[in-house]
Amino acid sequence: MKHLVLGFMLILATPLAARACNGCGPIDPLLLALVAGISGDDFPKAVPEVTWTGPSYPTDSEADGSVTWYQIGALVLAGFGQVVLPQGVGADQATREGNEGEAGVTVQIHSARGVQYVALRKFYPDADYLDVLTRQTDAHVTPLAANCTQDPYGSAPDREETAFYRLQMPQSDIPVFATAARAEDAGQMGPGYTTYTFFLTDPAPTIARMGCTAN
């Protein structure tokens, strides 16, 4: 999680320009690369619509020698206007005018199991996840569950209003699953944030563990 936060802060330290996507939604190239099984090394080449800043160093080493690492980038989500955004990190943090849709992109890769998830994080908490998601993709978005009683670890209440979705791309029979979660107060990180995470593993066990209500 710390790599998601740090990458988010560093990427959004400077303004972004929207990138062309040949008529598809802003996140569709990422989702298509995910369902196509594109390797972590090839993700930036497969998704040029994202402004990539390069990979992170491996972080978690397992007993078998496998590691977890990340591709970090940024894009602009559709349907947002101009707001005041934090700029910089720590003592050097200031503010600037920018598009609320500016989002950091984090792709988690396991050296043996491949790409694990694609996460997008933007400043400001989104009130209507479904509305935001449907503006970003040509996929059919189906709500699965929300109103969870526990956090993903089952150790505390879910204070981030987590919700689960299923996305069906018209170009693929493989479903993509997503979670959306928001932080109303991010402290030194600024005016709260929203995280959208996309993955291929059925979230049913997580939904049950978190005590979510099915839609």
Q: Which amino acid is at 139?
A: A
In angstroms and rounded to an integer, the radius of gyration of the C-alpha atoms of the chain is 17
Residue 97 pLDDT more than 70? yes
Q: What percent of the chain has pLDDT over 90?
A: 72
Strand partners, 179: 164, 197
- Long-range contact pairs involving 62-67 (C-beta distance under 8 Å, separation at least 24): 64/112, 66/110, 66/111, 66/112, 66/113, 67/110, 67/111
Strand partners, 161: none
Give the pLDDT confidence of 118-136 residue by residue, as tens digits.
Answer: 999 999 999 999 999 999 9
Average pLDDT over residues 193-202: 98
Report pTM: 0.87
Residue 187 pLDDT more than 70? no
* pLDDT at residue 173, rounded to an integer: 96
* pLDDT at residue 58, rounded to an integer: 81
60 vs 157, more confident: 157
As given in the structure block, the two tokens for residue 15 are 């303004």
Residue 205 CB coordination number (10 Å) = 9
The DSSP bridge pattern shows strands 140-146 and 213-214 to be antiparallel
- Cα 148 to the center of its chain, rounded Å: 19
* pLDDT at residue 95, rounded to an integer: 87
Give the pLDDT confidence of 159-174 residue by residue, as tens digits.
Answer: 999 999 999 999 999 9
Q: How far apart are CA 21 and CA 29, in angstroms?
A: 8
Q: How far apart are CA 167 and CA 101, in angstroms?
A: 20
Q: How far is CA 199 from CA 29, 99, 176, 204, in A?
A: 14, 26, 6, 13
